[in-house]
Structure 1
């Protein structure tokens, strides 16, 4: 018998499959699944890559470059050297701040929300990735979050919510077990064990949704509202599964090959690599147009034994990043991932160019510049120009008076949303922002 306590436990264990967004029936598939979308001439997309433990500006700003200028005649620092051939698409930004987020070990939801965040504290508002997923042309899965960590953490906690949110008290789960994520995206077009597991999971999910909807009616009003969020999560997950099956023939062209890295990973980086493949496939197939990658999953953990890095977790945050061979390995690994994203999108024609022409990759940290930071400097790297909106091939040094919220306002403006502030009221802005509207220095 499934009593109230057991039902909540079952839901909590399965809640990671929920999308954190509302998949309404009228949501359409963006290009390349459709040739055109009414009212949207450019199928833009955005990727956020959030590395934990901070992003020291000395690991990305070329030596001797003090003021804003071109990257054409400078050499990129060793940690981001894989991006050297792509300098013309790169924009390095220094001088944004996030002091109001109180990051310390991590700003958690505040890193993408632009508000105060802390361990175990629920989000106080939506995050920029979710907001952009609503502004950009709608897809079957408007927003996908994936998280990379140690094998132990990814196995015992295959879903976790620390970075993205759809609103106050509404966290969005990120997926860390590639086997589960593959089943969610491509189980309906698979064969063998994957197909059987997908069908069994789908049947269970449908039954739980029906039972949950019926049982929830008898709960007290306070529990009923929270309970309803779980029920909605099951509806969304089941709805996504049904909609993905309607484009099964198309998805077969993009589904990654499942190999031993999924089922028998030697190192956690095997799972990191296939999670990235799944994220890229979701973009190139048109399943989603907003991808958030949490390397370290927004916390103080993380492991990279596959790179020959024995240290892991919090210890990494207490190491100086510049000229550190460990952090050089991690940052170069990240940079190679960024290159793979770009090259994959560049290989897909779209409009008069490629998917990459209409894409922006945002690389930063959920912890500003370093571990135990006050957030006074929050470096960011951009790759791509978002259909010509952002400057590229350059370095921009700001004066430290504009918050990350202003940068997020800039992203929304570039996506077509007319707004002057993001998650910052006038009272907060008087204290933490020297201007209003977008950061003009970043735009073409």
Structure 2
């Protein structure tokens, strides 16, 4: 196997001069001596809730080892990886008002709602800033029905860079492939990439010119619009500087991209693109929204005819439909782990320095008050987290405390995430990270 650090040497050298002092070669490598081994975080958010009975081994009522228990059928694919698994029950999100979905509040730890803009940044974005800087700091992908992914190829409901600053998920794999690998492609993909690049460059210039004539009160808001085009065009230019490196990681484009039989074909290739962005080193933070943080979603490729909101009104434990969906999720998690495990990094593999956070934007179920918010962690984040165990908490600490724990493990000095003292007095019985989760 190729050593990832050796592969990234060429990438950093070629891109450093282009990107300027803000992205020095040692930062691109994300492996400088002062920062230790590179780390990465993956958030996998399933809509419609995550019933604890679908992940907690039968009869397990208190914290303990998973070594001698059998995982429930919905997550049975994770059985060979129990030593890397940590199941957490007893966090809450009462203050997020999840109901149909907490939307941005699921990863932000604040009150969310349908059509409500984010009130602060989300944990995935904050971690992307704390972890070593990369060419694409944060990638979000969203999985839904073919109809929704086609008509709305981008959608923002889960991630945000700040108050009123949503981050869009990519749901059309053809568009995402063009963004990541269009510069190294040929044929129609290359022609579409060049045409799109020319159009976006022109739009950026025109938008910048028009904005100069706006009243001062409007210029700031309009400037955010222009900045969006600058970021897209800048990312494309940065990726072009490392084209030779990217060729080693670009997935093969097949009929699933252009002629998907089911939406799960697009789900699968979107996952491939997300994994390739991680293994190539162009990002270290990936957010996956299955159902895209809303009440929709479809899995006809699994033999499930029911779609959308109706799925949320079904009991999950023992339900063959939800067993299929959760098993599909678990297989996706296994694909991520197996791929990262196959890539050497430092004295181990990429998976040794990775943490996967699996939960729902809906706490435990549809129409929930958020009193219980189950979470699964996979990986130990370079030895920071306990694994191979189940932890039952007392329901008095919010999901914000988990996010505080993640930031602490990433090296950020943080006692509370998106929760002031007044709110904490009502919703958090503790302070700082959750000690039961850390080594």
Q: TM-score, normalised by structure 2?
A: 0.94
Distance 1:262 1:31 in 2: 35
2:49 pairs with 1:49: no
Which of the numbers 364, 368, 372 marks the counterpart of 1:373?
Answer: 368
2:66 pairs with 1:71: yes
Give the 3 Å change call, closer, same or farther, for CA 44–201 of structure 1 in structure 2.
same
Which of the numbers 341, 359, 362 marks the counterpart of 2:357?
Answer: 362
Q: Is the 8 A contact 2:54 2:316 kept in 1?
A: yes
2:207 pairs with 1:212: yes
Q: Is the 8 A contact 1:140 1:287 kept in 2?
A: yes
Distance 2:311 2:22 in 1: 42
Partner of 2:7: none
2:84 pairs with 1:89: yes
Distance 1:25 1:110 in 2: 35
Partner of 2:96: 101
Distance 2:229 2:46 in 1: 30
Give unmatched runs, 5+ long, in structure 2: 1-17
Q: Is the 8 A contact 2:139 2:287 kept in 1?
A: yes
2:307 pairs with 1:316: no
Q: How many residues align?
A: 422
Distance 2:263 2:403 in 1: 31
Q: Is the 8 A contact 1:33 1:285 kept in 2?
A: no
Q: Is the 8 A contact 1:346 1:356 kept in 2?
A: yes
Distance 1:214 1:165 in 2: 27
**After TM superposition, what 4+ stretches of structure 1 lie above 2 angstroms from structure 2?**
23-39, 220-223
Distance 2:89 2:333 in 1: 19
Offset at residue 31 of structure 1 (A):
8.8
Write the deviation string for residues 342-401 of structure 1: whole angstroms up to 9, x where unpaired.
001001100000000000000000000000000000000000000000000000000000
Offset at residue 35 of structure 1 (A):
7.8
SS at match of 1:39: helix
Distance 1:341 1:248 in 2: 23
SS at match of 1:287: coil
Distance 1:254 1:345 in 2: 13
Distance 1:67 1:133 in 2: 34
Offset at residue 235 of structure 1 (A):
0.8
Offset at residue 218 of structure 1 (A):
1.0
SS at match of 1:282: helix
Give the 3 Å change call, closer, same or farther, for CA 56–35 of structure 1 in structure 2.
closer
Partner of 1:116: 111
Partner of 2:231: 236
Offset at residue 224 of structure 1 (A):
1.8
Which of the numbers 274, 283, 302 marks the counterpart of 2:297?
Answer: 302
Partner of 1:18: none
Q: Is the 8 A contact 1:114 1:423 kept in 2?
A: yes
Offset at residue 38 of structure 1 (A):
6.2
Partner of 2:75: 80
